[in-house]
């Protein structure tokens, strides 16, 4: 696959300290192909690559990365930043009822998403929600909204096929006002972008409703053509957000980048199943990984950037292998390593199951505070005490406690924990430790 080729190229770029015009060309060509393969539209790809190139040129390459890896890191970051810009929940800061207008092609997932949003607003935002369908062309569509609205636990406002969409809208707003609804979700007929009469109709609906949110619902499987659809809807309506549906499919989801770039509207939600609870807040960082399809390299880059220092882990492993004692300096460097790797809570997710279960009983916020206190205590020790913890008896403990501003019992507890860790290290020997550290690093 393309990503494999890109990975190979990355490997051949060792030993260069900077991203330069000459080493960046091949890489960018592959990134371009990877994006096109993910169905990002061509003009969007071109713009994006130009932006990345500008950012990348002349950049120093961090630590043990090579320029290729560093570039993938930059691409990933830029992708996530572009797609994640301005992401926020539904805006409801308006005199109720807050009206939300759903727009998009036939089959994009408007009706389904209307109900999913109703559920989201009821459960997460504690709102009283009304839905209405202005899809007068298909009686089945009105019935469909009724069914899914029930599932969402919201109220449905009846409409009929012989009414005008604008009249339906006005009646629904009136009802919502009188019955103190917080939100009115207006589902509309699916339309093809080229159908001018239907585009005129939704423009009129927008003018009538003056919605706080006008959401463009788009199918993530749509591929290259998403750009044309997005352009047509952007020209017709002031879009305030995007919902990307069917992300549970196997597309790479490049439509996200196209649609975001063309409309300028933030991607607010992602549809991840047909079911009523299949709606997630859009996660740009995760989606960037999917579009790029280079999870391995991205993970490596992040690891290096987080400052996980495998060399010092290796040194520690060698030390234990060679029979040297694990001392408080090692303990301290482990503690700070843990902090660098994103805190104990994220570490927990990476631990082997049975260790995680044990650790999970503890309160993680407290655990992180404990780590800081432990560091404080070790910092109050003399170098000799750190190397030979067994020297630390009562009077030394009192001095350390006073220096770190803690009780003597806490020093005891910390020394106990250190001893437990030392025992564990002995049991694991070097190899086991390296494996554990690698796991910690992700
Ligand atoms: P509309 O024409 O825009 O109103 O689209 P619908 O809401 O009727 O959805 C069209 C089809 O797509 C239906 O079969 C939905 O169940 C399905 N659908 C909508 N959103 C999603 C999603 O996020 N994931 C999956 N797998 N199917 C979806
Ligand atoms: Mg529909």
Torsion angle in degrees (nearest 10) through CA of 106, 109, 114, 116: 170
Number of domains comprising the chain: 3
Atom of ligand 1 nearest to the CA of 273: 24
253 with 297, same domain: the answer is: no
269 with 186, same domain: the answer is: yes
| Cα 260–chain centre separation | 16
272 with 152, same domain: the answer is: yes
Report how far ligand 2's centroid is from the alpha carbon of 140 (Å): 9
189 is in an annotated binding site: yes
The bound ligand whose nearest atom lies closest to the alpha carbon of 138 is 2
62 with 116, same domain: the answer is: no
Task: Answer whether residue 92 is part of any domain.
Answer: no
373 is in an annotated binding site: no
Q: Are 350 and 442 in contact (CB under 8 A)?
A: yes
> Is the CB of 389 within 6 Å of ligand 1?
no
Q: Model-level pTM greater than 0.80?
A: no
Q: Is the dihedral of CA 191, 193, 196, 199 positive or negative?
A: positive
pLDDT tens sequence across 225-263: 888 899 999 999 999 999 999 999 888 889 999 999 999
Q: What angle do CA 48, 50, 52 make, to 5 degrees?
A: 70
* Averaged pLDDT of the chain: 82
Report how far ligand 1's centroid is from the alpha carbon of 205 (Å): 22
Q: Are 87 and 283 in contact (CB under 8 A)?
A: no
Q: In the prediction, which pLDDT does 158 show?
A: 96
User: Phi and psi dihedrals of 125, rounded to 5?
Assistant: -110, 0
Task: Answer whether residue 120 is part of any domain.
Answer: yes
268 is in an annotated binding site: no
Task: Answer whether residue 288 is part of any domain.
Answer: no
Task: Answer whether residue 91 is part of any domain.
Answer: no
Please state, in angstroms and rounded to a whole number, the distance separating the CA atoms of residues 244 and 227: 13
247 with 367, same domain: the answer is: no
Report how far ligand 2's centroid is from the alpha carbon of 141 (Å): 5
Report how far ligand 1's centroid is from the alpha carbon of 13 (Å): 44
322 with 298, same domain: the answer is: no
Task: Answer whether residue 140 is part of any domain.
Answer: yes
Measured by CA distance, the residue closest to atom 19 of ligand 1 is 109
Task: Answer whether residue 287 is part of any domain.
Answer: no
110 is in an annotated binding site: yes
Q: In the prediction, which pLDDT does 353 show?
A: 46
Task: Answer whether residue 11 is part of any domain.
Answer: yes
142 with 78, same domain: the answer is: no
Q: Are 212 and 92 in contact (CB under 8 A)?
A: yes
pLDDT tens sequence across 257-282: 999 999 999 999 999 999 999 999 99
Q: In the prediction, which pLDDT does 430 show?
A: 47
Please state, in angstroms and rounded to a whole number, the distance separating the CA atoms of residues 85 and 265: 9
User: Phi and psi dihedrals of 332, rounded to 5?
Assistant: -60, -45
ipTM of the complex: 0.99
Measured by CA distance, the residue closest to atom 9 of ligand 1 is 109
Domain's final residue, options 246, 281, 316: 281
313 with 199, same domain: the answer is: no
Query: Which of 75, 49, 84, 88 is CA-nearest to residue 260?
Result: 84
Question: Which of the listed ranges 62-66, 81-85, 188-192, 355-359 does the model predict with the highest average pLDDT?
Answer: 81-85
Atom of ligand 1 nearest to the CA of 270: 23
Q: Where in the sequence is the domain holding 159, given as residue range(s)?
A: 98-281
130 with 190, same domain: the answer is: yes
78 with 103, same domain: the answer is: no
- Domain at 18, CATH number: 1.20.120.140
Q: In the prediction, which pLDDT does 5 show?
A: 61
Please state, in angstroms and rounded to a whole number, the distance separating the CA atoms of residues 417 and 422: 9
158 with 80, same domain: the answer is: no
Measured by CA distance, the residue closest to atom 27 of ligand 1 is 274
Write out the H or E segment, with its range, that includes residue 258: helix 255-263
Report how far ligand 2's centroid is from the alpha carbon of 247 (Å): 18
pLDDT tens sequence across 282-310: 999 889 988 887 665 666 666 655 554 55
Please state, in angstroms and rounded to a whole number, the distance separating the CA atoms of residues 57 and 61: 11
CB atoms within 10 A of CB 263: 23
Task: Answer whether residue 151 is part of any domain.
Answer: yes
187 is in an annotated binding site: yes
pLDDT tens sequence across 81-126: 999 887 789 999 999 999 999 999 989 999 999 999 999 999 999 9
Please state, in angstroms and rounded to a whole number, the distance separating the CA atoms of residues 342 and 51: 29
- Domain at 237, CATH number: 3.40.50.300
297 with 376, same domain: the answer is: no
């Amino acid at each position: 696959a393309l990503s494999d080729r890109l990975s190979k190229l990355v490997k051949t770029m060792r030993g260069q300290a900077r991203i330069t015009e000459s080493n960046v060309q091949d890489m960018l060509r592959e990134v371009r192909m990877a994006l096109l393969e993910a169905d990002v539209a061509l003009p969007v790809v071109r713009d994006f690559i130009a932006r990345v190139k500008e950012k990348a040129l002349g950049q120093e390459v961090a630590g043990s990365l090579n320029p290729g890896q560093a570039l993938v890191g930059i691409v990933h970051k830029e992708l996530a930043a572009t797609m994640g810009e301005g992401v926020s929940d539904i805006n409801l800061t308006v005199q109720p009822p807050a009206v939300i207008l759903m727009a998009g092609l036939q089959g994009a997932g408007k009706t389904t998403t209307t109900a999913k949003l109703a559920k989201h607003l009821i459960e997460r935002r504690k709102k009283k929600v009304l839905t209405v369908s202005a899809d007068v062309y298909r009686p089945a569509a009105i019935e469909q909204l009724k069914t899914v609205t029930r599932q969402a636990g919201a109220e449905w406002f009846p409409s009929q096929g012989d009414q005008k969409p604008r009249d339906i809208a006005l009646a629904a707003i009136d009802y919502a006002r009188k019955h103190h609804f917080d939100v009115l979700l207006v589902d509309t007929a699916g339309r093809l972008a080229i159908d001018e009469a239907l585009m005129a109709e939704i423009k009129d609906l927008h003018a009538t409703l003056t919605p706080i949110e006008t959401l463009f619902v788009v199918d993530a499987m749509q591929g290259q053509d998403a750009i044309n659809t997005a352009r047509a809807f952007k020209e017709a309506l002031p879009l305030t957000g995007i919902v990307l549906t069917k992300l549970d499919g196997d597309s790479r989801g490049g439509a996200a980048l196209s649609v975001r770039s063309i409309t300028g509207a933030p991607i607010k939600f992602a549809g991840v199943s047909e079911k009523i609870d299949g709606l997630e807040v859009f996660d740009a960082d995760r989606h960037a990984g999917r579009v790029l399809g280079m999870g391995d390299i991205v993970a490596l880059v992040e690891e290096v950037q987080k400052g996980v220092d495998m060399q010092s882990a290796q040194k520690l492993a060698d030390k234990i292998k060679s029979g040297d004692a694990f001392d408080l300096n090692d303990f301290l460097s482990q503690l700070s390593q843990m902090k660098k790797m994103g805190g104990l809570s994220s570490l927990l997710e990476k631990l082997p199951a049975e260790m995680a279960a044990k650790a999970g009983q503890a309160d993680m916020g407290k655990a992180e505070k404990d780590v800081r206190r432990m560091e404080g205590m070790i910092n109050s020790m003399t170098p000799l005490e750190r190397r030979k913890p067994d020297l630390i008896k009562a009077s030394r403990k009192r001095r350390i406690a006073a220096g770190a501003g803690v009780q003597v019992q806490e020093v005891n507890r910390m020394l106990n924990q250190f001893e437990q860790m030392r025992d564990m290290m002995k049991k694991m020997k070097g190899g086991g430790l390296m494996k554990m550290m690698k796991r910690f690093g992700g």
